[in-house]
Amino acid sequence: MKIGFDIDDTLISLREYAFHHYNKILEKNVSIEQFNSLPTLYIHEPFGLSSEEGKNLWLTNAEHIFFTSCPPYEGVVDLLHKLVHNGHEIYYITSRSKEYCQKTYDWMKLNNFPIEQGRFFCGMEDHEKVDIIESLSLDYYFDDKPAVIETLTESKTKIYVKDQSYNKHLAVPRINDWQELKNIIKI
């Protein structure tokens, strides 16, 4: 089978990692409960930042957030390796900006993700993901972002959303814990 995955907040806990980083650099103590109840993708509001300040803080810290020690979700790397071992093709489709594509690929290699050239797509807008997913004829695709999931509801690809506080309204199958993947795809 051909299986596609978004990276940020689907395979790795990027927003939570950034949240803890913001607490540290802003010398705040915003609770994880506040993070876990955020109704949007953006994490700046609990820190008292405007949208513009939040955007600037993200851009200033993007290299640190993306390429230091942001953790993958528990067990996901092992599951991906098992999928590959069992003959499945794994594709990564991320809308990280083009300037970060090679570093993202290298970071994933360094962090033991089973990744190959030709199966890594980066640097597109969210709406462009749909074209890539369709052109690859993926059997399954996993993402967290409502804007992406909503554009795929008519797709032949089986779509799953990685459960997050900001995507609870989506009426599609969801993954809460990556161990659930064993019930969806033979691993």
pLDDT tens column, 135-170? 999 999 999 999 999 999 888 999 999 999 999 999
pLDDT tens column, 8-28? 999 999 999 999 999 999 999
Q: Which residues on neighbouring strands pair with residue 141, listed in sequence order?
A: 4, 159
- The question of whether 106 is a catalytic residue gets the answer no
Q: Choosing from 6, 9, 143, 144, which is the catalytic residue?
A: 6
pTM of this prediction? 0.96
pLDDT tens column, 88-143? 999 999 999 999 999 999 999 999 999 999 999 999 988 889 999 999 999 999 99
- The question of whether 8 is a catalytic residue gets the answer yes
Q: Choosing from 8, 9, 143, 144, which is the catalytic residue?
A: 8
**Three-state secondary structure readout of 126-173:** HHHHHHHHHHHCCCEEEECCHHHHHHCCCCCCEEEEECCHHHCCCCCC
